[in-house]
Structure 1
Amino acid sequence: MQKRQRELSALTPPTSAEGQSENRRARSVGVGHAHAKAIVLGEHAVVYGAPALALPVPQLRVTASVGCSSPSPDGQGDVSLTMTGSASRPVATQASDSLRRLTDEFRATMGVAERLHLDVILDCAIPAGRGLGSSAACARAVVFALADLFGREVTQSMAFDLVQTAESVAHGRASGVDATAVGACAPLLFQEGEAQELPIDCDGLFIIADSGVMGRTKDAVELLREGFLRHSGARERFVRRATELTDEARHALADDRPEELGRRLTDYHELLRAAGLSTDRIDALVAAALTAGSFGAKITGGGMGGCVIALTRAEQAREVTRQLREAGAVQTWAVPLRGRVEHAL
């Protein structure tokens, strides 16, 4: 990684007269950060306008480093990508369509005229395909790395719009909750593009357990959509029940009722399981968390794999973690309810 950073530092922007004044403000390498997220309640229904509760996961971070060099002879900019970090083996690869679209949109939005070659390094600790927002976090980190590189100011609204650009390419229709939560400092209530910090008067921990199986969000979305089409009123019933559970959980968080919050988690898991979005391994992890004394547990994210999130007392966390691992979890993380993220950008 250090060698790669030195290579990036050696890259310098072109020295044309047109580019000199802007490039004096630019750095040789721009750096940006983001973190993972977990959906506490509201996945899938949030796409249809229902509320969702989202939790930042600061233990899992991504750092983007971006350098630039002269464009190709045809004058067109290009993007190369290197992935490193605990979530992936070091590998240089072609930039994805979403990354290319993101960099193009950044250039257009921020008025970066030069078609420079961009060399992107993503050092990512967020496992992909687990419902933890890895694609949105990588996109956000790149946005702020580009802003750092070119000396631009990026508002939260701009960052959201740019990340949504990448998410729409990667996943199709995106609610926006991931794009918001991967830069959040505290748990959020998200609904129809608007987010606000959740009032919390509960102590405890969320334990996130990785099943080791990549989720299949697109398959899950299609499965749910087909079910809605087959059964008249199914979508309305699903969204109504999801909204009820999420609202009840939000009030439980604010009123120091962790037992009630836990029950709503488990109820939401049953809603998703009934829709065919869970798996035997996920169900086993949920059962293990409940047996170990958790207030409640559920699948988190798109479904058909991914992670489980369980709410527990701090003193129960060790036992909950032990039983989750015995049930097949490949790794776990503990996130305090009252924790705050100090390095969201």
Structure 2
Amino acid sequence: MTALDDARGLLASLTDAPLAGVWSSAGRANLIGEHTDYNEGYVLPFAIDRRTYAAVSPRADDAIRVASTFDPDPVELPIARLADTFAGEPGAAVRRGDVPEWAAYPLGVAWAALEASGRAPHTVLGLDIAFASDVPVGAGLSSSAAIEGATAFALDELWQLGLEGIQLARIGRTAENEAVGAPTGIMDQVSSMLGRADAATFLDCRSLEHETVELGLAAEDLALLVIDTQVQHAHSTGGYRDRREACERGAALLGVPALRDVAVADLDRARTVMDEVTFRRVRHIVTENQRVLDTVRTLRERGPRAIGELLLASHASMRDDFEISVPELDTAVDAAMSAGAIGARMTGGGFGGAAIALVESAAQDRVTAAVTEAFAAAGFAEPRIFPVTPSAGAGRDL
């Protein structure tokens, strides 16, 4: 059974109504560019071959009901109540217990889609939506953006909203920021929804201009391994929010709209106008933006084998300056490199989740064994390690 089959089976257990279709969106890994998105900087993520599926049937009433294989209890709301539920303080509906956090993602997308399109609730079809996924939850692979993307593409078609890909990505970000209360940027939604095979998406998070950057992994006989530490994280908790507030504080002290506007050459001045912790947060963002630009140039000029040192420098910056790594992530990176990886770094928001390692295809088993042994020696839970292939983003499957 695939996740697509699971979504269809769950839907069939909810309703006898005919299947309107199945849509899906990809999880994502970030090659480089961490926490730069909400600082209006640059990122280089790619969609992965792990997906969330949304099987949809029409309803005869004006409600939307969502169900997931991860939760036995469906959640139902009248479409007319979406605005009342989510339009207040960010994340309030989740904190009040009006909706469970997982359901706030798709229901928040429905609310944001109506707001963005200007459609009135009484003009759209009631729906049952059943979700199933093979994107690991809490691993830093953006399971949240995958459910948002599958929902957004389904609603765009079924509600005839006429929205484009980048608009749907904005809707996903609105759902995550406002309905869920997670202060994330737009990188996850863009890469999850708009990814391309064997390529990464180079995104300017200020202008939202984006272009495809070929990775060329297959031609070089390279593979990307995800090392899921099994340490769970949650973006709606305090560590992520603290880092974002530090970035905003640093930008204000430097008199710029966002840290995107600070160059590496400006860091000496930055050190003189802020405390040490804020400075280190700022230094990570500024140098990470430069590393993204350097990685794009290196991929185009020299290919994927030449980016290893940039990946390692990114991890060191997240570990030492942004302080979002954990011992399991550091162990994953160190063990992968000791076993011959070309480069490795943690990926995602941090405080747990996953690392990625760029390896020779023939070295996957060796690197996997080395990381697993290192985790055992450190007394950590066994990691889940698997290859990912840069893949296409959101779309209709059936």
Match of 2:135 among 126, 139, 144: 126
Partner Cα separation in structure 1 for residue 395 and residue 386 of structure 2: 18
C-alpha separation in 2, matches of 1:342 and 1:47: 21
Equivalent position to 2:392, from 337, 341, 344? 341
Please state how far the C-alpha of 1:343 moved relative to its aligned partner.
6.6
Alignment partner for residue 204 of structure 2, among 187, 191, 199? Answer: 191
Is 1:304 the counterpart of 2:317 in the alignment? no
- Does the 8 Å CA contact 1:31/1:144 hold for their aligned counterparts? no
How far the C-alpha of 1:115 sits from its partner, in A, is: 6.5
Question: What does the per-residue CA deviation read over 1:200-256, in whole Å, with 9 as the maximum and x for residues that have no partner?
Answer: 355221111100111243433234346655436445422221122222222222223
Tell me if 1:99 matches 2:106: yes
Q: 2:54 aligns with which of 48, 51, 64?
A: 64
Q: Return the alpha-carbon distance in structure 2 between the equivalents of residues 106 and 113 of structure 1.
A: 14
Distance 2:59 2:166 in 1: 29
2:23 to 9, 27, 32: 32
- 2:368 aligns with 321
Query: In the alignment, which residue of structure 2 is the partner of 1:10?
Result: 16
2:225 matched residue in structure 1: 207
Q: Partners of 1:34 and 1:225 in 2: how far apart?
A: 27
| TM-score normalised per structure 1 | 0.82
Is the partner of 1:65 in helix, strand or coil?
strand
Which residue matches 2:164?
155
The letter of the residue matching 1:307 is A
Q: 1: distance between equivalents of 2:111 and 2:234?
A: 28
- Secondary structure of the residue that 2:122 maps to in structure 1? coil
Q: Offset at 1:50?
A: 2.1
- Runs (5+) with no aligned partner, structure 1: 12-26, 72-76
Partner of 1:113: 122
> 2:148 corresponds to which residue?
139
The match for 1:220 is 239
Mapping for residues 277-296 of structure 1, pairs under 5 Å: 277-296=324-343
Q: Offset at 1:129?
A: 1.7
Looking at structure 2, the residues matched to 143 and 340 of structure 1 have their Cα atoms a distance apart, in angstroms, of: 19
The alpha-carbon deviation at position 292 of structure 1 amounts to 0.9
Q: Which residue of 268, 286, 295 corresponds with 1:249?
A: 295
Deviation by residue 1:51-99 (Cα, 9 ceiling, x = unmatched)? 11102111x111102223243xxxxx44332112xxx365535563343
Check the 8 A contact 1:9/1:28 in 2, yes or no. no
Report the TM-score, using the length of structure 2 for normalisation. Answer: 0.72
CA deviations 1:295-345 (Å, max 9, x no partner) are 111110000100001111112122112222333453222135xx5438755
**Alignment-mate amino acid for residue 138 of structure 2:** G
- How far apart in 1 are the matches of 2:36 and 2:166? 23
Count of matched residue positions in the alignment of Structure 1 and Structure 2: 319
**Alpha-carbon separation, structure 1, partners of 2:339 and 2:225:** 12
Contact 1:61 1:126 in 2 (8 A): yes
Pairwise CA RMSD of aligned residues?
A: 2.7
Any gaps of 5 or more consecutive residues in structure 2?
A: 1-5, 76-98, 250-274, 376-381
Match of 1:238 in 2: 284
Checking the alignment, whether the CA contact within 8 Å between 1:44 and 1:302 is kept in structure 2 is: yes
Distance 1:245 1:161 in 2: 25
Letter in 1 for 2:339: A
Mapped partners of 2:12, 2:40: distance in 1? 46
Tell me the amino acid that sits aligned with residue 5 of structure 1.
Answer: L
8 Å contact kept, 2:149–2:394: no
Distance 1:335 1:7, change over 3 A: closer
Whichever residue aligns with residue 289 of structure 1, its letter is A
Residue 189 (structure 2) aligned to one of 166, 175, 179: 179
C-alpha distance in structure 1 between counterparts of 2:394 and 2:126, whole Å: 28
- Contact (CA 8 Å) 2:240, 2:349: kept in 1 or not? yes
Paired residue secondary structure (1:10)? coil
Q: Distance in 1 between matches of 2:329 and 2:354?
A: 7
SS at match of 2:307: helix
Letter aligned with residue 240 of structure 2: V
Q: Report the CA distance between 1:257 and its aligned residue.
A: 4.6
State whether residues 65 and 142 of structure 1, in contact with CA within 8 Å, keep that contact through their aligned partners in structure 2. no
Range with bigger deviation, 291-300 or 195-204:
195-204
Contact 1:285 1:308 in 2 (8 A): yes
| Structure 1 counterpart of 2:267 | none
Counterpart code for 2:201: L
- 1:272 maps to which of 318, 331, 334: 318
- CA distance 1:104–1:236, change in 2 (3 Å): closer
Distance 2:189 2:9 in 1: 31
Classify 1:50/1:105 alpha carbon distance in 2 versus 1 (closer, same or farther; 3 Å).
closer
Shift of 1:153: 4.4
